Amino acid sequence: MNPDIQALFFNDPWWIVLIKCVGIVVVVLTWQIFNVWFERRLLGKMQQRIGPIMNGPFGLGQTLGDGLKFLLKEDFAPKMVDRVLYTLAPIIAGVCAFTAWSSIPLGGEVNMFGVTTRLQVTDLSTGALVILAMGSVAIYGFVLAGWSSNSPYSLLGAMRSSAQMISYEISMGLSFVAVFLYTGSMSTNAIVDAQSAPLLGQPLLAGLGLQNWYWLVLLPSFVIYVISMFGETNRAPFDLPECESELVSGHITEYTGFRYAIFYLSEYINMTTVSAVCTTLFLGGYKAFWPFSLIPGIDSGWLGLVWFVLKVQLLIGGFVWARASLPRFRYDQFMDLGWKWMIPISLVWILLIATFKGLRNAGLMSPFVFLGLAAVVALAFLAIWFLGSPEEEAPRVGDEPFDAFAGGYPVPPLPGQSLPEFADMVRGTAEPDPITEEK
């Protein structure tokens, strides 16, 4: 193997790299089988239902049965579809879902068949950007699925999905930028190591075991990323591309069998991926929670993988909780949140971080002063959010008669207006009853 290429894989032998790649595929696939069961059971508990309990212990075999059903079902393709793109779309979605895991550190150094290596396939200097890029490329699979299906429901779902992912990919990328500025690196491994430092770099806090996790230090970026996770994965309350009441199943409406299973699986893998990225960037990666972090060696070796999985599973539980408790956003509200709030707040926050880094390097600002300024800015945005803009005056209704088809297509009447054929009915001027008049 070329030395430059081998350096990207921690100078591991080729067979160790192969074992890591195969291991990630197997672990991620097995994890999604558990996540499907986990979501069903947790939703059942939240909705006072039982959930799947019949197949296997605690119903764990239900997901395996569903997967076998997808494999045995007829792989039907509707007439007039573009068969090349129709087949290529789920492959793109599935490959991108797995590729992002190559740059995520699952743990520290471990001994694997006598070779000391890290629980990570590769640590690129721009590893976090690679993860973000894989999420951007995955949208091609959704768009091609909607375009090739020759169905208006699929096409509208694909258009919504592309607009949604583009909008929230920007805010998600800006939350990445804040982490890059604060850490000084785009390497996922370096970001995890930087969060092992004492909180705010203060020696007094080092004795308490408080680590510099970025969910607290970069709280606005953490909140923006968490909101963007839901928009990026098309999960409730941002499941507009797949809302059953409007678009059946969105871009996967015309899919069945194994190809449908790939899309279904990629959705859960994406949910797990964004949770793993959130763990890496903001929750200390594979490092143990406080106060467990005070125990020496509690997160070393293979134990780091346990802490990593635990953190990711808690975030997946947040996805399920949101699905069970929050109503779906209206499309204009959803876009307003992304473009009018999250992106401007991210830009202001990045400006503050860049200013803080410059002043701190010059020795002119302490972290506590920075947190105070950040709190003031956050309170200002919250005040604007809750106070809102002044209500617009309701449009005045003119005296001219209302024509619902004046523009060539039906338009609903404004408050106070009524359709001409129903005007007498609305005003209560019904024709006199001849029987009543005779009496």
- What phi and psi, each to the nearest 5 degrees, are found at residue 302? -70, -15
- What phi and psi, each to the nearest 5 degrees, are found at residue 110? -135, 165
pLDDT of residue 426: 47
Residue type, 179: V
| Distance, CA of 236 to CA of 403 (rounded, Å) | 39
Spell out the domain ranges in the chain: 67-387
Other CB atoms within 10 A of residue 111 CB = 10
> Which one, of 101, 96, 95, 103, lies nearest residue 122 by Cα?
103
Q: Are 40 and 51 in contact (CB under 8 A)?
A: yes
Angle formed by the axes of helices 343-361 and 367-387, nearest 10°: 160
| Distance, CA of 310 to CA of 393 (rounded, Å) | 51
Strands 115-118 and 109-112: antiparallel
| Distance, CA of 30 to CA of 178 (rounded, Å) | 33
Task: Show Cβ contacts of residue 438 under 8 Å, excluding neighbours closer than 6 positions.
Answer: none
| Distance, CA of 423 to CA of 430 (rounded, Å) | 10
| Distance, CA of 150 to CA of 153 (rounded, Å) | 9
> Which one, of 132, 134, 124, lies nearest residue 103 by Cα?
124
Averages of pLDDT over runs of 10 residues in the chain (439 residues) are: 72 90 93 93 89 82 85 81 88 89 92 90 89 88 88 86 88 94 92 86 68 89 94 86 72 85 90 96 92 86 94 96 90 89 91 86 74 75 68 56 66 67 52 56
DSSP string, 169-208: HHHHHHHHHHHHHHHT---HHHHHHHTTSBGGG-HHHHTT
Report the DSSP beta bridge partners of residue 110. 117
Task: Show Cβ contacts of residue 313 under 8 Å, excluding neighbours closer than 6 positions.
Answer: 38
Q: Are 245 and 65 in contact (CB under 8 A)?
A: no
pLDDT of residue 306: 95
> Which one, of 132, 103, 134, lies nearest residue 119 by Cα?
103
pLDDT of residue 415: 66
C-alpha 176: how far from chain center: 14
Tell me, what DSSP letter sits at residue 109? E
Tell me, what DSSP letter sits at residue 211? B
Specify burial of residue 254 (Cβ count, 10 A radius: 0-12, 13-18, 19+).
Answer: buried
- What phi and psi, each to the nearest 5 degrees, are found at residue 116? -85, 120
